[in-house]
């Protein structure tokens, strides 16, 4: 969090909100990434827009990183993955696999992810999304407290 700047955070938030609004108004769909990605395999009937959305998400991120390297996570230094806590003695690939599986399980149990509930659900004044976001933040605070990773 050493390189936080309100300008880039505001710009990023505005772009996320704009993308969510465009998807909602143009396609009638909520920009919940876990739902969009989760319906790719097995393919849903509406697979084309999902592939376009995911590729655009990755492509825009790569393009922004190349065009504006100074606003990245570490400033001008490239971002690196967080290493597992030394006391846990887990290799980094195992740490990432476990984290990914837990994230996937959580989005399935929570019936959505932070983008679906936090951005779109709260904007629609959904009580279910408010509860989900409170749980997400509570678990995040607990995770940081237990692991010591910020």
According to the model, what pLDDT value does residue 68 have?
Answer: 76
Helix (H, G, I), strand (E, B) or coil at 93: helix
According to the model, what pLDDT value does residue 130 have?
Answer: 94
Provide the strand spans (E) within the chain: none
CA angle 30, 136, 39 (to 5 degrees): 35
Residues in the chain with pLDDT < 70? 1-4, 71-79, 150
Domain tally for the chain?
2
Residues 12, 61 within the same domain: yes
Token output for 116: 């679906």
Residues 19, 31 within the same domain: yes
Q: Residues 36-66: pLDDT tens digits? A: 888 887 777 788 888 988 999 889 888 887 8
Helix (H, G, I), strand (E, B) or coil at 82: coil
Residues 90, 72 within the same domain: no
Residues 58, 129 within the same domain: no
8 A C-beta contact, residue 3 and residue 68: no
Residues 123, 102 within the same domain: yes
Residues 101, 37 within the same domain: no
Domain boundary among 50, 80, 110: 80
């Amino acid at each position: 969090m050493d390189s936080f700047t309100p300008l880039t955070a505001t710009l990023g938030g505005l772009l996320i909100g704009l993308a969510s609004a465009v998807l909602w108004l143009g396609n009638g769909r909520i920009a919940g990434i876990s739902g969009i990605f989760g319906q790719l395999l097995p393919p849903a009937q509406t697979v084309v827009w999902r592939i376009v959305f995911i590729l655009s998400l990755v492509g825009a991120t790569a393009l922004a990183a190349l065009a504006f390297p100074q606003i990245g996570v570490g400033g001008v230094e490239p971002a690196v993955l967080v290493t597992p806590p030394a006391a846990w003695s887990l290799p980094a690939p195992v740490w990432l696999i476990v984290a990914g599986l837990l994230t996937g399980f959580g989005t399935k149990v929570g019936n959505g992810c932070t983008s679906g509930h936090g951005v779109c659900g709260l904007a629609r004044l959904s009580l279910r999304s408010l509860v989900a976001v409170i749980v997400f933040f509570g678990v995040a605070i607990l995770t940081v407290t237990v692991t010591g990773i910020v």
